Amino acid sequence: MKIFRADYVYPINADPIKNGYVAIDDQSKIISVSDQKPPDAEHIPVEKLSGIITPGFINAHCHVELSHLHNKVPKGEGLVQFIKNLQGLRNADPKEIEAAAIKADHDMYENGIVAVGDISNSNVTVPIKAQSKIYYHTFVETFSFTPERADATFEAALQLMEQFKPQACSVTPHAPYSVSKELFRLIKKYCDTHPNKNLISIHNQECEDENKFYRYKLGSFNDLYAYFGIDISYFKPQARNSLQSVVPLLTSKQDILMVHNTCTNLKDIYFIKRFDRRINWCFCPGANLYIEKMLPKVELFIDQGFNLTIGTDSLASNEKLCILSEMGILQENFPTLGLDRLLQWATINGATFLGIDKDKGSLEPGKTPGLNLITGLDGQKITAETKVRRLV
Protein backbone atom coordinates (compact mmCIF):
# COMPACT_ATOMS: atom_id res chain seq x y z
CA MET A 1 0.00 0.00 0.00
CA LYS A 2 1.05 3.61 -0.65
CA ILE A 3 -0.46 6.69 1.00
CA PHE A 4 -0.34 10.24 -0.34
CA ARG A 5 -1.43 13.36 1.47
CA ALA A 6 -1.88 16.72 -0.26
CA ASP A 7 -3.24 20.19 0.50
CA TYR A 8 -6.37 19.18 -1.36
CA VAL A 9 -7.61 15.96 -2.90
CA TYR A 10 -10.13 16.30 -5.74
CA PRO A 11 -12.07 13.03 -5.98
CA ILE A 12 -14.28 14.64 -8.73
CA ASN A 13 -17.30 12.53 -7.74
CA ALA A 14 -17.33 14.37 -4.37
CA ASP A 15 -16.26 17.72 -2.90
CA PRO A 16 -12.53 18.49 -2.61
CA ILE A 17 -10.99 17.24 0.65
CA LYS A 18 -8.67 19.63 2.51
CA ASN A 19 -5.52 17.86 3.74
CA GLY A 20 -6.84 14.73 2.07
CA TYR A 21 -5.34 11.25 1.96
CA VAL A 22 -5.37 8.82 -0.96
CA ALA A 23 -4.35 5.21 -0.33
CA ILE A 24 -3.60 2.87 -3.23
CA ASP A 25 -2.53 -0.77 -3.48
CA ASP A 26 0.47 -2.17 -5.36
CA GLN A 27 -1.51 -2.16 -8.62
CA SER A 28 -2.35 1.55 -8.09
CA LYS A 29 -5.97 0.70 -7.34
CA ILE A 30 -7.64 3.13 -4.94
CA ILE A 31 -8.21 1.76 -1.46
CA SER A 32 -9.50 4.89 0.22
CA VAL A 33 -9.96 8.65 -0.24
CA SER A 34 -10.52 10.53 2.98
CA ASP A 35 -9.49 13.34 5.31
CA GLN A 36 -7.80 10.72 7.46
CA LYS A 37 -5.17 8.05 7.14
CA PRO A 38 -6.77 4.61 6.68
CA PRO A 39 -7.30 3.06 10.15
CA ASP A 40 -5.37 -0.15 9.46
CA ALA A 41 -2.31 1.66 8.03
CA GLU A 42 -0.57 3.24 11.06
CA HIS A 43 2.72 1.60 10.13
CA ILE A 44 2.74 2.84 6.52
CA PRO A 45 4.58 6.11 5.89
CA VAL A 46 2.65 8.98 4.27
CA GLU A 47 4.08 10.86 1.29
CA LYS A 48 3.22 14.48 2.08
CA LEU A 49 2.81 16.68 -0.98
CA SER A 50 2.06 20.33 -1.51
CA GLY A 51 -0.50 20.90 -4.24
CA ILE A 52 -3.66 19.06 -5.21
CA ILE A 53 -4.19 15.44 -6.17
CA THR A 54 -6.55 14.69 -9.07
CA PRO A 55 -7.40 11.60 -11.10
CA GLY A 56 -5.43 11.03 -14.31
CA PHE A 57 -6.53 13.17 -17.26
CA ILE A 58 -8.54 12.00 -20.26
CA ASN A 59 -7.54 13.45 -23.63
CA ALA A 60 -10.78 13.18 -25.59
CA HIS A 61 -9.29 14.15 -28.97
CA CYS A 62 -5.85 13.60 -30.43
CA HIS A 63 -4.09 12.43 -33.61
CA VAL A 64 -0.94 10.68 -32.39
CA GLU A 65 0.00 9.74 -35.97
CA LEU A 66 0.45 13.44 -36.85
CA SER A 67 3.06 14.06 -34.12
CA HIS A 68 5.91 14.38 -36.64
CA LEU A 69 4.25 17.60 -37.88
CA HIS A 70 5.14 19.46 -34.69
CA ASN A 71 6.15 23.04 -35.58
CA LYS A 72 5.86 22.29 -39.32
CA VAL A 73 2.54 23.98 -40.14
CA PRO A 74 2.37 27.82 -40.04
CA LYS A 75 0.05 29.29 -37.41
CA GLY A 76 -3.07 31.36 -37.86
CA GLU A 77 -3.72 30.77 -41.57
CA GLY A 78 -7.19 29.30 -41.06
CA LEU A 79 -8.50 25.76 -41.44
CA VAL A 80 -8.58 25.50 -45.23
CA GLN A 81 -4.95 26.56 -45.59
CA PHE A 82 -4.07 24.30 -42.64
CA ILE A 83 -5.56 21.29 -44.47
CA LYS A 84 -3.67 22.16 -47.66
CA ASN A 85 -0.42 22.50 -45.69
CA LEU A 86 -1.05 19.21 -43.92
CA GLN A 87 -1.62 17.33 -47.15
CA GLY A 88 1.72 18.55 -48.48
CA LEU A 89 3.50 17.21 -45.39
CA ARG A 90 1.90 13.79 -45.02
CA ASN A 91 4.53 11.82 -46.95
CA ALA A 92 7.25 11.85 -44.33
CA ASP A 93 9.76 9.10 -43.59
CA PRO A 94 7.87 6.26 -41.79
CA LYS A 95 10.67 5.99 -39.21
CA GLU A 96 10.27 9.66 -38.38
CA ILE A 97 6.48 9.31 -38.12
CA GLU A 98 6.85 6.35 -35.79
CA ALA A 99 9.50 7.97 -33.59
CA ALA A 100 7.40 11.11 -33.16
CA ALA A 101 4.32 9.06 -32.28
CA ILE A 102 6.26 7.10 -29.65
CA LYS A 103 7.51 10.35 -28.13
CA ALA A 104 3.96 11.80 -28.11
CA ASP A 105 2.66 8.73 -26.29
CA HIS A 106 5.46 9.05 -23.74
CA ASP A 107 4.90 12.79 -23.26
CA MET A 108 1.16 12.35 -22.74
CA TYR A 109 1.91 9.74 -20.08
CA GLU A 110 4.29 12.13 -18.32
CA ASN A 111 1.66 14.88 -18.56
CA GLY A 112 -0.71 12.76 -16.49
CA ILE A 113 -2.94 11.55 -19.33
CA VAL A 114 -4.33 8.04 -18.75
CA ALA A 115 -6.69 7.66 -21.70
CA VAL A 116 -6.93 9.11 -25.19
CA GLY A 117 -9.60 9.23 -27.87
CA ASP A 118 -7.28 9.10 -30.87
CA ILE A 119 -8.04 9.61 -34.54
CA SER A 120 -6.24 7.34 -37.00
CA ASN A 121 -6.08 7.28 -40.78
CA SER A 122 -3.35 4.65 -40.93
CA ASN A 123 -2.04 1.64 -39.00
CA VAL A 124 1.20 3.34 -37.89
CA THR A 125 0.07 3.65 -34.25
CA VAL A 126 -1.23 0.06 -33.87
CA PRO A 127 1.92 -1.36 -32.19
CA ILE A 128 2.57 1.86 -30.21
CA LYS A 129 -0.90 1.77 -28.69
CA ALA A 130 -0.68 -1.96 -28.02
CA GLN A 131 2.43 -1.39 -25.89
CA SER A 132 1.41 1.93 -24.33
CA LYS A 133 0.67 2.46 -20.63
CA ILE A 134 -2.13 4.76 -21.79
CA TYR A 135 -5.62 3.46 -22.66
CA TYR A 136 -6.51 4.29 -26.27
CA HIS A 137 -9.79 4.32 -28.09
CA THR A 138 -8.96 4.63 -31.79
CA PHE A 139 -11.40 6.36 -34.10
CA VAL A 140 -10.66 5.05 -37.57
CA GLU A 141 -11.52 8.08 -39.60
CA THR A 142 -13.18 8.11 -43.00
CA PHE A 143 -13.20 10.90 -45.49
CA SER A 144 -14.57 11.11 -48.97
CA PHE A 145 -16.83 13.85 -50.23
CA THR A 146 -17.34 12.02 -53.51
CA PRO A 147 -20.57 9.97 -53.25
CA GLU A 148 -19.31 7.28 -55.67
CA ARG A 149 -16.38 6.51 -53.38
CA ALA A 150 -18.49 5.96 -50.23
CA ASP A 151 -18.52 2.13 -50.37
CA ALA A 152 -14.81 1.74 -51.02
CA THR A 153 -13.90 4.30 -48.34
CA PHE A 154 -16.10 2.62 -45.77
CA GLU A 155 -14.74 -0.86 -46.57
CA ALA A 156 -11.15 0.38 -46.27
CA ALA A 157 -11.97 1.86 -42.85
CA LEU A 158 -13.47 -1.42 -41.63
CA GLN A 159 -10.31 -3.21 -42.76
CA LEU A 160 -8.07 -0.72 -40.99
CA MET A 161 -10.21 -1.11 -37.88
CA GLU A 162 -9.54 -4.87 -37.93
CA GLN A 163 -5.84 -4.07 -37.52
CA PHE A 164 -6.52 -2.13 -34.31
CA LYS A 165 -8.55 -4.93 -32.72
CA PRO A 166 -8.60 -6.10 -29.96
CA GLN A 167 -7.85 -2.52 -28.90
CA ALA A 168 -10.90 -0.30 -28.41
CA CYS A 169 -11.82 1.18 -31.79
CA SER A 170 -14.64 2.41 -33.97
CA VAL A 171 -15.19 3.80 -37.44
CA THR A 172 -16.06 7.49 -37.63
CA PRO A 173 -16.69 10.34 -40.08
CA HIS A 174 -14.03 13.07 -40.30
CA ALA A 175 -16.12 16.23 -40.70
CA PRO A 176 -19.27 17.55 -42.39
CA TYR A 177 -17.26 19.00 -45.29
CA SER A 178 -15.28 15.82 -45.98
CA VAL A 179 -17.91 13.07 -45.77
CA SER A 180 -20.66 12.57 -48.34
CA LYS A 181 -24.24 11.81 -47.33
CA GLU A 182 -23.74 8.33 -48.75
CA LEU A 183 -20.74 7.69 -46.52
CA PHE A 184 -22.58 9.13 -43.50
CA ARG A 185 -25.40 6.66 -44.21
CA LEU A 186 -23.04 3.67 -44.32
CA ILE A 187 -21.57 4.66 -40.96
CA LYS A 188 -25.02 5.23 -39.48
CA LYS A 189 -26.20 1.82 -40.64
CA TYR A 190 -23.13 0.22 -39.09
CA CYS A 191 -23.74 2.09 -35.81
CA ASP A 192 -27.41 1.18 -35.75
CA THR A 193 -26.64 -2.50 -36.23
CA HIS A 194 -23.82 -2.50 -33.64
CA PRO A 195 -25.52 -0.59 -30.81
CA ASN A 196 -23.18 0.93 -28.17
CA LYS A 197 -20.14 -0.55 -29.93
CA ASN A 198 -19.13 2.18 -32.35
CA LEU A 199 -18.51 5.49 -30.62
CA ILE A 200 -18.48 8.45 -32.99
CA SER A 201 -16.06 11.40 -32.92
CA ILE A 202 -16.46 14.08 -35.59
CA HIS A 203 -14.76 17.43 -36.19
CA ASN A 204 -17.46 20.09 -36.00
CA GLN A 205 -17.69 23.73 -37.11
CA GLU A 206 -13.99 24.39 -36.80
CA CYS A 207 -14.32 27.56 -38.88
CA GLU A 208 -17.08 29.87 -40.08
CA ASP A 209 -16.58 28.84 -43.70
CA GLU A 210 -17.83 25.35 -42.87
CA ASN A 211 -21.22 26.89 -42.04
CA LYS A 212 -21.00 29.20 -45.05
CA PHE A 213 -20.43 26.24 -47.33
CA TYR A 214 -23.38 24.30 -45.93
CA ARG A 215 -25.73 27.29 -45.85
CA TYR A 216 -24.90 28.90 -49.21
CA LYS A 217 -22.21 26.75 -50.89
CA LEU A 218 -19.93 29.78 -50.62
CA GLY A 219 -16.52 30.45 -49.10
CA SER A 220 -13.07 28.91 -49.04
CA PHE A 221 -14.15 25.25 -49.01
CA ASN A 222 -14.99 25.62 -52.69
CA ASP A 223 -11.31 26.45 -53.26
CA LEU A 224 -10.31 23.42 -51.20
CA TYR A 225 -12.35 21.01 -53.35
CA ALA A 226 -10.96 22.63 -56.49
CA TYR A 227 -7.42 22.32 -55.06
CA PHE A 228 -7.94 18.58 -54.50
CA GLY A 229 -9.78 18.16 -57.81
CA ILE A 230 -13.02 17.04 -56.14
CA ASP A 231 -16.18 17.57 -58.17
CA ILE A 232 -18.88 18.97 -55.87
CA SER A 233 -21.41 19.91 -58.52
CA TYR A 234 -23.89 17.52 -56.87
CA PHE A 235 -23.82 19.40 -53.56
CA LYS A 236 -26.79 21.72 -52.90
CA PRO A 237 -26.70 24.48 -50.29
CA GLN A 238 -28.57 23.21 -47.23
CA ALA A 239 -29.80 26.58 -45.89
CA ARG A 240 -28.65 25.59 -42.41
CA ASN A 241 -25.39 25.26 -40.52
CA SER A 242 -23.24 22.18 -41.05
CA LEU A 243 -24.05 20.77 -37.62
CA GLN A 244 -27.79 20.89 -38.21
CA SER A 245 -27.32 19.35 -41.65
CA VAL A 246 -25.30 16.33 -40.56
CA VAL A 247 -26.75 15.47 -37.14
CA PRO A 248 -29.79 13.79 -38.75
CA LEU A 249 -27.30 11.57 -40.65
CA LEU A 250 -25.74 10.35 -37.39
CA THR A 251 -26.87 7.46 -35.25
CA SER A 252 -29.04 7.70 -32.15
CA LYS A 253 -27.60 4.39 -30.90
CA GLN A 254 -24.10 5.58 -29.90
CA ASP A 255 -22.51 8.44 -28.05
CA ILE A 256 -21.19 11.12 -30.40
CA LEU A 257 -18.36 13.55 -29.69
CA MET A 258 -18.49 16.90 -31.47
CA VAL A 259 -14.93 18.19 -31.60
CA HIS A 260 -13.88 21.88 -31.73
CA ASN A 261 -17.31 23.62 -32.04
CA THR A 262 -15.49 26.88 -32.69
CA CYS A 263 -18.38 28.31 -34.72
CA THR A 264 -21.30 26.58 -33.02
CA ASN A 265 -24.00 29.10 -32.07
CA LEU A 266 -26.95 29.15 -29.69
CA LYS A 267 -29.37 28.06 -32.42
CA ASP A 268 -27.21 25.01 -33.10
CA ILE A 269 -27.22 24.16 -29.41
CA TYR A 270 -31.01 24.45 -29.17
CA PHE A 271 -31.28 22.26 -32.26
CA ILE A 272 -29.15 19.61 -30.56
CA LYS A 273 -31.21 19.81 -27.38
CA ARG A 274 -34.39 19.08 -29.31
CA PHE A 275 -32.88 16.30 -31.41
CA ASP A 276 -32.67 12.75 -30.17
CA ARG A 277 -28.90 12.20 -30.52
CA ARG A 278 -26.42 11.44 -27.73
CA ILE A 279 -24.19 14.49 -28.29
CA ASN A 280 -21.07 15.15 -26.19
CA TRP A 281 -18.75 18.09 -26.87
CA CYS A 282 -14.99 18.42 -26.88
CA PHE A 283 -12.96 21.63 -26.68
CA CYS A 284 -9.42 21.82 -28.07
CA PRO A 285 -8.62 25.49 -27.39
CA GLY A 286 -4.88 25.25 -28.07
CA ALA A 287 -5.52 24.00 -31.61
CA ASN A 288 -8.29 26.56 -32.21
CA LEU A 289 -5.90 29.39 -31.38
CA TYR A 290 -3.16 27.79 -33.48
CA ILE A 291 -5.29 27.33 -36.60
CA GLU A 292 -8.09 29.92 -36.44
CA LYS A 293 -6.92 32.36 -33.76
CA MET A 294 -10.36 32.08 -32.17
CA LEU A 295 -12.13 30.04 -29.50
CA PRO A 296 -15.57 28.44 -29.21
CA LYS A 297 -18.29 30.31 -27.31
CA VAL A 298 -17.73 28.03 -24.34
CA GLU A 299 -20.29 29.78 -22.09
CA LEU A 300 -23.12 28.67 -24.43
CA PHE A 301 -22.45 25.02 -23.63
CA ILE A 302 -22.33 25.30 -19.85
CA ASP A 303 -25.23 24.20 -17.62
CA GLN A 304 -27.19 22.83 -20.58
CA GLY A 305 -26.95 19.23 -19.37
CA PHE A 306 -24.20 18.33 -21.87
CA ASN A 307 -21.17 16.17 -21.23
CA LEU A 308 -18.22 18.51 -21.95
CA THR A 309 -14.70 17.19 -22.50
CA ILE A 310 -11.23 18.47 -23.37
CA GLY A 311 -8.78 17.37 -26.08
CA THR A 312 -5.34 18.41 -27.23
CA ASP A 313 -5.81 17.76 -30.96
CA SER A 314 -2.52 16.89 -32.68
CA LEU A 315 1.01 18.27 -32.48
CA ALA A 316 0.44 19.59 -36.02
CA SER A 317 -1.73 22.27 -34.38
CA ASN A 318 -0.52 22.45 -30.80
CA GLU A 319 2.65 23.15 -28.82
CA LYS A 320 2.18 20.11 -26.61
CA LEU A 321 -0.19 17.30 -25.74
CA CYS A 322 -1.14 18.42 -22.25
CA ILE A 323 -4.65 18.59 -20.82
CA LEU A 324 -3.53 20.93 -18.02
CA SER A 325 -2.36 23.43 -20.66
CA GLU A 326 -5.76 23.26 -22.37
CA MET A 327 -7.45 23.88 -19.00
CA GLY A 328 -5.17 26.89 -18.52
CA ILE A 329 -6.12 28.36 -21.92
CA LEU A 330 -9.82 27.87 -21.16
CA GLN A 331 -9.56 29.51 -17.74
CA GLU A 332 -7.49 32.41 -19.04
CA ASN A 333 -10.06 33.16 -21.72
CA PHE A 334 -13.18 32.30 -19.70
CA PRO A 335 -12.32 33.42 -16.16
CA THR A 336 -15.64 32.23 -14.75
CA LEU A 337 -14.56 28.63 -15.35
CA GLY A 338 -13.60 27.32 -11.93
CA LEU A 339 -11.04 24.63 -11.30
CA ASP A 340 -13.73 22.16 -10.14
CA ARG A 341 -15.58 22.41 -13.42
CA LEU A 342 -12.46 22.21 -15.59
CA LEU A 343 -11.25 19.16 -13.68
CA GLN A 344 -14.57 17.42 -14.35
CA TRP A 345 -14.21 18.10 -18.07
CA ALA A 346 -10.61 16.87 -17.96
CA THR A 347 -11.34 13.63 -16.10
CA ILE A 348 -14.71 11.98 -15.51
CA ASN A 349 -16.48 13.51 -18.52
CA GLY A 350 -13.93 12.18 -21.01
CA ALA A 351 -13.95 8.81 -19.24
CA THR A 352 -17.75 8.72 -19.46
CA PHE A 353 -17.70 9.43 -23.18
CA LEU A 354 -15.08 6.72 -23.80
CA GLY A 355 -17.07 4.29 -21.65
CA ILE A 356 -14.27 3.75 -19.14
CA ASP A 357 -15.75 5.66 -16.20
CA LYS A 358 -16.06 2.48 -14.13
CA ASP A 359 -12.26 2.48 -13.86
CA LYS A 360 -11.05 6.02 -14.73
CA GLY A 361 -11.99 9.64 -14.19
CA SER A 362 -12.54 9.87 -10.42
CA LEU A 363 -10.88 8.86 -7.16
CA GLU A 364 -13.13 6.11 -5.86
CA PRO A 365 -12.20 2.86 -4.10
CA GLY A 366 -11.80 0.03 -6.60
CA LYS A 367 -10.89 2.28 -9.54
CA THR A 368 -7.43 2.64 -11.11
CA PRO A 369 -7.71 6.21 -12.43
CA GLY A 370 -4.07 7.29 -12.08
CA LEU A 371 -3.04 10.09 -9.72
CA ASN A 372 -1.78 13.53 -10.75
CA LEU A 373 -0.22 16.15 -8.51
CA ILE A 374 -0.94 19.71 -9.61
CA THR A 375 1.36 22.35 -8.17
CA GLY A 376 1.77 26.10 -8.58
CA LEU A 377 -1.93 27.00 -8.51
CA ASP A 378 -2.91 30.44 -7.29
CA GLY A 379 -5.92 29.37 -5.23
CA GLN A 380 -8.30 28.03 -7.91
CA LYS A 381 -6.38 29.73 -10.71
CA ILE A 382 -4.12 27.96 -13.18
CA THR A 383 -1.05 30.13 -13.78
CA ALA A 384 2.12 29.96 -15.86
CA GLU A 385 3.72 28.23 -12.87
CA THR A 386 1.08 25.49 -12.65
CA LYS A 387 2.53 22.07 -13.38
CA VAL A 388 1.31 18.48 -13.47
CA ARG A 389 3.30 15.54 -12.19
CA ARG A 390 2.10 11.98 -12.49
CA LEU A 391 2.24 10.23 -9.09
CA VAL A 392 1.16 6.82 -10.38
Q: Which is nearer to Zn ion, 292 or 313 (CB)?
A: 313
Q: Which is nearer to Zn ion, 22 or 79 (CB)?
A: 79
Interface residues for Zn ion in 134-173 (CB under 5 A)? none
Strand order in the sheet with 278-283: 200-204, 255-260, 278-283, 307-310
Residue 279 CB, nearest distance to Zn ion (Å)?
17
Q: How near is the Cβ of 116 to Zn ion at its closest, in Å?
A: 12
Nearer to Zn ion, 83 or 356 (CB): 83
The smaller minimum CB distance to Zn ion, of residues 209 and 313, is found at 313
Count residues contacting Zn ion (CB under 5 A)? 1
73 closest CA partner among 88, 61, 52, 60: 88
The residues in 307-336 that bind Zn ion, with binding defined as CB under 5 A, are: 313
Report the nearest approach of Zn ion to the CB of residue 100 (Å): 16
Chain position whose Cβ is nearest to Zn ion: 313
Beta bridge mates, 371: 55
Asked whether 255 and 244 are in contact (CB, 8 A), the reply is no
In angstroms, give the least distance from the CB of 261 to Zn ion. Answer: 12
Q: Measured between alpha carbons, how far is 276 from 7 in angstroms, rounded to an integer?
A: 43
User: 65 vs 313, which CB is nearer to Zn ion?
Assistant: 313
Residues 6+ apart with CB under 8 A from 233: none
Q: Do 284 and 326 contact (CB within 8 A), yes or no?
A: yes
H helix count then E strand count, the chain: 13, 14
Minimum distance of Zn ion from residue 141's CB (angstroms)? 9
CB-CB contact of 171 with 161 (8 Å): yes
Residues of this chain that interact with Zn ion (CB under 5 A) are 313
